[in-house]
Structure 1
Amino acid sequence: MFIKDFLWGGAIASNQADGLYKYKKGTSIADYRKFEKKTQRDDRGEFTSVKFGEIDFDEDITANYPKRRGIHFHETYKEDLQLMKEMGMKAFRTSIDWSYMFPTGKEEHPDENAVSFFGNLIDEIIKNGMEPIITLSHYEMPTTLVEELDGWYSKETIHHFVRYAKCCLDLYGNRVKYWITFNQINMANFDSLGIRFTKHENAYKAIYQGSHNQFVASSLVKKYAKSLKYDVMIGTMLSDKIAHAASCKPEDILFNLRKNQMQFLYPDVQIRGEYPGYALRYFKEKGIAIKMSDDEKQILKENTMDYLSFSYYYTKINDASKDDLDNMFVKSTNPYLEKSEWGWEIDPTGLRVALNTYNDRYPGLPLFITENGFGAVDVVEEEKVHDMYRQNYVSKHIEQIGEAIKDGCHVIGYLLWSPIDIVSCSSSEMTKRYGFIYVDLDDEGDGTGKRIKKDSFYWYQKLIRTNGRER
């Protein structure tokens, strides 16, 4: 069922794990994400307001900034990677912190300490028998580019990112085959784009301009990669948002089609090399004029992505009576699905649907699930964590990957989010744990930092050893 060299592994992000803040000369957007205790556990709507998660960069000495410390992976990565090797992982995904390599984003040359750290990290990943998967932008944009250029709204940001990406490819391209330019590019929120949406008369116009500039940057990175002697693959990554129609009413069917199309826009441009008709119609109807040169169109056409990667956690439904086409984030929930403690619908079958949909839309293109996992509150009892709920979630999703492969889908790997507990992206807390390795740190950063193998650690170990046959 699963190919012999199937990439079983796990994924983290630098800003959620490394704890680089005290070493950096610059800051990133993630460095200013505060932990704010909430009365209820539902972070689905984290970036759905008109501000799209926009935050300021005013230092608050009373605030808790968990992503500045992460899980201190910078100091523990050797021991942590050995645990992942013991688990049997074949691949490990992480990101390079752009603001560590280029503190303001505008430097001509990288920070030598950053070059050394990420080089050593990649070497250690390989030493432990894992394929490194590297993300170039995972919410770690230098804040200087936000403040001075309005992030990805500016064409100048393309230049700065491509310089940074070329530097990384030159430094590590001989050791890293799989690259992802932008994490979940279709999320298009403040963390990704660094655009001050509240300063724009039309926030959606700003979003699509910023996204276009990211498309161009990705294609320029791909163009450069083709000139290298190394065997590198440049991929795009989505947050899977293929939704179901709320009912069989024609209004819901059509609304669902149009909503899904605006999610397909992101891979369509990067894989097919041009803007699709449905998007051009939408832009015209909404008065959105993207600044796009003929040269940029040519760059997109000639430099498409080598593979499609995506995260998959839940599905939503599109209800024409409740939602609107402009809202890029689906709001309605599926009454037929169970939910996690944080309100995320559990839909393993939806993963099979997504894989088949992408496989049919982009024939022959490798598909890579680069994030999937279950966030929950874990309880330690006598140095053990019994997390059958996590095993059940992952097992059912892997079962559907197997079914999709039987359907003919070209799936090359599966990366668990995450192999070890890290700071949550959406809620900046440690309470919401995804890992198969427990980390003794709480939301305030207190604790011993001790690593404990959860029951799921041994379960995943067996699954990998049998190449998915035993779940």
Structure 2
Amino acid sequence: MRQVPDGFPKDFLWGGAIAANQAEGAYQEGNKGLCVADILKVQDKGDLKKKSNKETTMADIEYALQDTTGYYPKRYGIDFYHTYKEDLKLLAETGMNSFRTSINWARIFSNGDEDEPNEAGLQFYDDLIDEMLKNGMEPLITLSHYEMPLHLATTYNGWYNRKTIDFFAKFCEACFKRYKDKVKYWIVVNQINLIQHESFNHLGIPEDRVENLVEAKYQGVHNEMVASALATKIGHEINPDFQIGCMVYNGLAEPLTCKPEDVLANLQHNQMEYFFSDLLMRGVYPGYALRYFKEQNIHLDIPEEDEILLKENTADFFSMSYYYTMCTSAESWRTKQNDYGLIKNPHIEESEWGWGINPLGLRTVLNYFWDRYNKPIIIAENGYGTFDTINEDGTIIDDARIHYLATHVEAIREAIIDGVDVVGYFPWGPIDIISCSSSEMKKRYGFIYVDLDDYGQGSGKRIKKKSFDWYKRVIDTNGEDLGL
């Protein structure tokens, strides 16, 4: 009889996660083309809780390309392109045995539609991956993390155009072939269900190029999921040992009350969050989604060959980001409050950026996803973005971050004891990087402080925070000593 696990498995992946567009910089080096993230301007003013990437028009793009006075932080990042050797060596001191980053699509195909990949870009990631391996880190590589070549957005309307499926497949094939003996774990698309908050940044669809933006988003993400299945097929043909996974942002919510109407609304909300992973993990368009599209007057072009490809090439593992949770009610779902139909949970605290802190919710959703798919799960992102202060003695005491992470790791351990096959944990931004949603630097996640402000001013010096030693202790004890 199987025994109840008593904690984290011995081969557990203790890692850290970043994205190329938020860290590398060097946006004009190595024959790199512009990607969609390179036109995002810093949002340094306004309500912290309302900062996010907005819809983008062709006029917005043209303005960003011609703007000589504004600051676009993701063009510069933390200069990881030049400092990755030192940064990985420093991160390795925590004992982390894995590292997640992305391959910037625009480094490999500058415009996205070239016939041949860019050798300088391929060589950079060869060197970066070699450095991970040298530091004892299993690479977890994301192929699409908000780094679509800008040319594909302006010329083809991004994922709305089926031609992008083939462009992406060619990019994936180039990466799979180049790194087939170095990389085992791949995530095809980062947070594939984020089509509201990360619309243009994710799908590359200029809003003034389509008549029905909501319909265009769902068509775009359909094309992207078909491309994911095609990439999975290609990857398994190149190396059958590849583990190729899907990734979502956890958008599951709780009902605001136990009123039957709220419970049903919550189910319907959660179904449309499950939709993306249901299709990638199970390979079939679910009935609830078909009904939703019909009732919302959303018409999708889904050829039969797409359905066959999706059915035959499902993901090997499930991964997700988990930061916060919210609630739904019958009213919020009906009116689509905050785009998603979400409202705050009155029973939990929130961060300065308005993210509801709910570690127990992580255990809950891990059980939900395990029961649904019964495939290995990776926590590909989890973190606490907040302000950090350097004390006079040079220390950075980030106790709030430590408590957030510790309680979430505790929740993962409990889920493992529940029987959930969690195989890896990757805290977001183990070294400070540019914020995805607002392009700020002051919203920090890392165990390592990077001395740069929102405008790239500063020494760039790396400073260990108190959480650095905390994570080292967690890894040393394989999750037994969380300091709680």
**TM-score (ref. length: structure 1):** 0.97
Report deviation, 1:39.
Answer: 2.9
Q: CA separation in 2, counterparts of 1:122 and 1:267?
A: 28
Sort the Cα spacing of 1:53 and 1:187 in 2 relative to 1 into closer, same or farther, 3 A.
Answer: farther
Name which of 27, 33, 48 aligns with 1:21.
27
Name which of 268, 273, 286 aligns with 1:263.
273
Name which of 74, 95, 100 aligns with 2:102.
95
> Is 2:55–2:206's contact at 8 Å kept on the other side of the alignment?
no
Report deviation, 1:288.
Answer: 1.8
Q: CA separation in 2, counterparts of 1:19 and 1:301?
A: 38
Q: CA separation in 1, counterparts of 2:341 and 2:473?
A: 36
Correspondence for 1:395 = 406
Correspondence for 2:215 = 205
SS of the residue corresponding to residue 63 of structure 1 reads: coil
SS of the residue corresponding to residue 14 of structure 2 reads: strand
Aligned residue type for 1:221: A
Correspondence for 1:294 = 304
> Alpha carbon RMSD of aligned pairs, Å?
1.6
Correspondence for 2:461 = 450
Report deviation, 1:51.
Answer: 6.3
Aligned residue type for 1:12: I
Name which of 145, 150, 160 aligns with 1:143.
150
Correspondence for 1:384 = 395
Name which of 301, 318, 329 aligns with 1:319.
329
Aligned residue type for 1:63: G
Report deviation, 1:201.
Answer: 2.6
> Is 2:32–2:108's contact at 8 Å kept on the other side of the alignment?
no
Alignment of 1:133-282 (within 5 A): 133-188=140-195, 189-229=199-239, 231-282=241-292
Q: CA separation in 1, counterparts of 2:158 and 2:99?
A: 29
Identity %: 49
Correspondence for 2:10 = 4
Name which of 304, 309, 329 aligns with 2:314.
304
Sort the Cα spacing of 1:466 and 1:17 in 2 relative to 1 into closer, same or farther, 3 A.
Answer: same
Report deviation, 1:395.
Answer: 0.2
Correspondence for 1:62 = 69
Which aligned segments of 4 or more residues in structure 1 are displaced greater than 4 angstroms?
Answer: 49-55, 325-328
SS of the residue corresponding to residue 22 of structure 1 reads: coil
> Is 2:210–2:216's contact at 8 Å kept on the other side of the alignment?
yes
Name which of 434, 437, 440 aligns with 2:445.
434
Q: Aligned pair 1:115/2:125, yes or no? A: no
> Is 1:165–1:221's contact at 8 Å kept on the other side of the alignment?
yes
Which deviations, in whole Å up to 9, do the C-alpha atoms of 1:262-317 show, x marking residues without a partner?
01000000011010000011111222221111111100000000001100000011
Correspondence for 1:46 = 52
Query: Structure 2: any 5+ residue segments left out of the alignment?
Result: 1-6
> Is 1:137–1:182's contact at 8 Å kept on the other side of the alignment?
yes
Name which of 367, 389, 401 aligns with 2:377.
367
> Is 1:323–1:332's contact at 8 Å kept on the other side of the alignment?
no
Report deviation, 1:20.
Answer: 2.6
> Is 2:323–2:355's contact at 8 Å kept on the other side of the alignment?
yes
Aligned residue type for 2:189: F
Q: CA separation in 2, counterparts of 1:461 and 1:36?
A: 33
Which deviations, in whole Å up to 9, do the C-alpha atoms of 1:193-235 show, x marking residues without a partner?
0112343332221111011101110111111122124521111
SS of the residue corresponding to residue 449 of structure 2 reads: strand
Aligned residue type for 2:106: S
Which deviations, in whole Å up to 9, do the C-alpha atoms of 1:141-180 show, x marking residues without a partner?
0111101111000100000000000000000121101111
Which deviations, in whole Å up to 9, do the C-alpha atoms of 1:85-111 show, x marking residues without a partner?
111111100000001110100111111
Q: CA separation in 2, counterparts of 1:433 and 1:7?
A: 23
Sort the Cα spacing of 1:241 and 1:321 in 2 relative to 1 into closer, same or farther, 3 A.
Answer: same
**TM-score (ref. length: structure 2):** 0.94
> Is 1:258–1:325's contact at 8 Å kept on the other side of the alignment?
no
Q: CA separation in 2, counterparts of 1:385 and 1:21?
A: 30
Which deviations, in whole Å up to 9, do the C-alpha atoms of 1:367-425 show, x marking residues without a partner?
00000000111001122100111100000000000111111101000001111000010
Q: CA separation in 2, counterparts of 1:99 and 1:68?
A: 12
Sort the Cα spacing of 1:52 and 1:3 in 2 relative to 1 into closer, same or farther, 3 A.
Answer: farther
SS of the residue corresponding to residue 124 of structure 1 reads: helix
Query: Structure 1: any 5+ residue segments left out of the alignment?
Result: none
Correspondence for 1:285 = 295
> Is 1:177–1:233's contact at 8 Å kept on the other side of the alignment?
yes
Aligned residue type for 1:324: R
Aligned residue type for 2:302: M
Sort the Cα spacing of 1:84 and 1:25 in 2 relative to 1 into closer, same or farther, 3 A.
Answer: closer
Correspondence for 2:4 = none
